[in-house]
Chain A
Amino acid sequence: GENVEQHPSTLSVQEGDSAVIKCTYSDSASNYFPWYKQELGKRPQLIIDIRSNVGEKKDQRIAVTLNKTAKHFSLHITETQPEDSAVYFCAASKREYGNKLVFGAGTILRVKS
């Protein structure tokens, strides 16, 4: 089955700097790669996603890139702000009815002001 690895496990950046989180997946059949932000005790919130027919997607300060050949994808956050501090999870899935998300282990992002 699918296995998703995520690095780094913790990341501290200064406010205004950029943050990059990287994930690799194992199942070449996976074709959907969302990123979730989760604050302590709260629900995972979908912040951006990318499908396998796209190499890059951007939404304001966040962007995601996908390299299908290498089976890895990355989250880029620019101009980080203290409210970006949270746990970020990458995930992989196939486009099938009811198909599960397989999550990476998560990255704790701390933005220091």
Chain B
Amino acid sequence: AAGVIQSPRHLIKEKRETATLKCYPIPRHDTVYWYQQGPGQDPQFLISFYEKMQSDKGSIPDRFSAQQFSDYHSELNMSSLELGDSALYFCASSSGLEYEQYFGPGTRLTVT
């Protein structure tokens, strides 16, 4: 079965640079979630979109923005990167009011 696709899988950036992470949900899923996971920590919710509209917002820094496009893929844009932004970024998708969220393989972002 098709899964959530994330790109790139690994990304190395320097401080103050920008990064764009992409997420392609499972086919026919209309809801996308972004989570940030630091080393040894639980995933922390950043933001979600349902039918291309922002549906929930968590502890996402103002330096980050995201959107969901007409084909339901989503992009997380991160600017003025800081060392503390180094983490695994997961995208998850679900279908409408279905409960289950399925996670992608993640993007490992390293800021040097």
Contacts and interface: CB of A to CB of B under 8 A. Distances in A.
B102 interface: yes
B106 A99 contact: no
A91 B50 CA distance: 20
Interface in A31-90: 32, 34, 36, 41-46, 49, 51, 89
A100 interface: yes
A2 B96 CA distance: 22
B100 A34 contact: yes
Contact of A99 (B56, B105, B108): B56
B64 interface: no
Interface residues of A, number: 25
Interface stretch (B17-25, B40-48, B79-87): B40-48
A26 B106 CA distance: 29
B97 A95 contact: yes
A43 B56 contact: no
A49 B99 CA distance: 9
A44 B43 contact: yes
Contacts of A101: 33, 35, 43, 45, 92, 101
A103 B44 CA distance: 8
Given A34-B100, A44-B43, A46-B101, A99 B55 contact: yes
Interface in B49-77: 49-51, 54-56, 58
Interface of A: 32, 34, 36, 41-46, 49, 51, 89, 93, 95-106
Given A100-B48, A101-B35, 19 more contacts: A41-B108, A43-B104, A43-B105, A46-B100, A46-B102, A89-B43, A96-B97, A97-B31, A97-B55, A97-B96, A98-B31, A98-B33, A98-B48, A99-B55, A99-B56, A100-B33, A101-B33, A101-B45, A103-B44
